[in-house]
Amino acid sequence: MRILTRYLYKEFFTFFLIALITFLVLYTVIDFFGKIDNFMEAGVPIKTTLSFFLYQIPLVIQQMLPISMLISIMLMLGLMNKHNEILALKSSGLNLFNLSYPLIGISVLIGVASFFLSESIVPITSPKANEIWNFRVEKRDAKGAYKLSHIWYRGDRSIYQIRAFDSKKNIMEGLTISFFGENFNLIKRIDAEKATWSGDRWSLAHGLIQTINPDGSWKSVSFEHHTIQLPENPDNFKHSMKAPEEMSFWELRNYARKIRKEGFDSTKAQVDLNTKLAFPFISLTLTLVGVPLALRRKRGGIPFNITIGIGISFLYLLTFGLSRSLAISGALPPLLGAWMANLLFLFLGIYLTLAEQG
């Protein structure tokens, strides 16, 4: 068994390195020709342009690890099947589970390597690549501008509820401010359809001011336009989100807690946090699906196996992207949205393995 394991390791890593390098080169070449016009139009020096593509390599490698793993398994087992090596192993008493153990071990190691890349190297190189693209090519404002929604912000004895905030124009939509006294009792509430920052104060439009008198009675005054000075200015509500790949797991976890505490919608950050944990398990999941498929005797040989491997990868990424989008929209919990693709393909792999074994 040790001889077989060494043989599988040798064959696998040969195909794995070839597949990983091939995908890396293809991705870089396609990306290069797709973006070179943007770099030339922006007048970016060639040295900076090459630096951009070099900084992208760690992230591309991390993303291509699971696909390279699957294609390598399909190639290796397909060739062994073609040369009747699988038949010889089965005749000697080995079954599918015996062949799967070494490959499962490799997939776990590759998952660990993927997580290591996302935690140590990618957070260093990705911000540099994004900075070149955003500021040198796209000429975006370094401070960033985002349309934020569903904001709850706790101010100085006040709570702001904001439906939408344009951090570039400093305009709020759907604003409600609740003011509290020393004992945290509600003393005033302001509602406005729109609030615009005018330099030193807020200009409110189309709203209502409700004041609670000491005797408990209410006084309501509607307005078309109203200006008010508040302790909070636009900088209190501005919030720029770093890309998930620019942060480690712990940074992203602290980030999600921070924006939730400040009143911002943290759904996307929660989904990205769970995705960071789910992504390294893709290699294991695809291995469980790829092994039984590669061992099935089908016409078409190696080209057929490669096509099946690419098809499975595409189907997985489609499922992964769909479940993630549903989680971000709130249709699925963040945990389920990040892990759904892994769970579905895990069950598929178990079913195929049992069917092949039977």
CATH dotted code for 147-237? 2.60.450.10
Amino acid type, 15? F
Please state, in angstroms and rounded to a whole number, the distance separating the CA atoms of residues 73 and 310. Answer: 12
Amino acid type, 166? D
340 Cβ contact list (under 8 Å, min separation 6): 319, 323, 332
Which tens digit of pLDDT belongs to each residue from 10-54? 888 999 999 999 999 999 999 999 999 999 988 889 999 999 999
Please indicate whether residue 29 or residue 102 has the higher confidence score (pLDDT): 29
Instruction: Round the CA-based radius of gyration of the chain to a whole number and report it.
Output: 28
Which tens digit of pLDDT belongs to each residue from 254-265? 888 877 776 667
Residue 22's pLDDT is 94
Which tens digit of pLDDT belongs to each residue from 271-322? 999 999 999 999 999 998 988 888 775 555 677 778 888 889 899 999 999 9
Residue 111's pLDDT is 93
263 Cβ contact list (under 8 Å, min separation 6): 151, 152, 153, 154, 160
Q: Kindly report the number of other CB atoms within 10 A of residue 243's CB atom.
A: 14
- Spacing of C-alpha 319 from chain mean position: 14
**Token pair of 345 as six digits:** 């393909």
Q: Would you kindly state where each structural domain of the chain is located, as residue ranges?
A: 2-139+265-357, 147-237
- Which SS3 state, helix, strand or coil, does residue 200 take? coil
Runs of H (alpha helix) within the chain: 2-42, 46-82, 85-91, 96-116, 122-131, 234-237, 249-262, 267-278, 282-295, 301-329, 334-357
Which tens digit of pLDDT belongs to each residue from 264-276? 677 888 899 999 9
Instruction: Indicate the pTM of the whole model.
Output: 0.72
The tokens 């015996």 sit on which residue?
98
- Strand ranges (DSSP E) for 198-244? 202-212, 218-228
Decide: 54 and 32 in contact? Cβ < 8 Å: no
Residue 68's pLDDT is 94
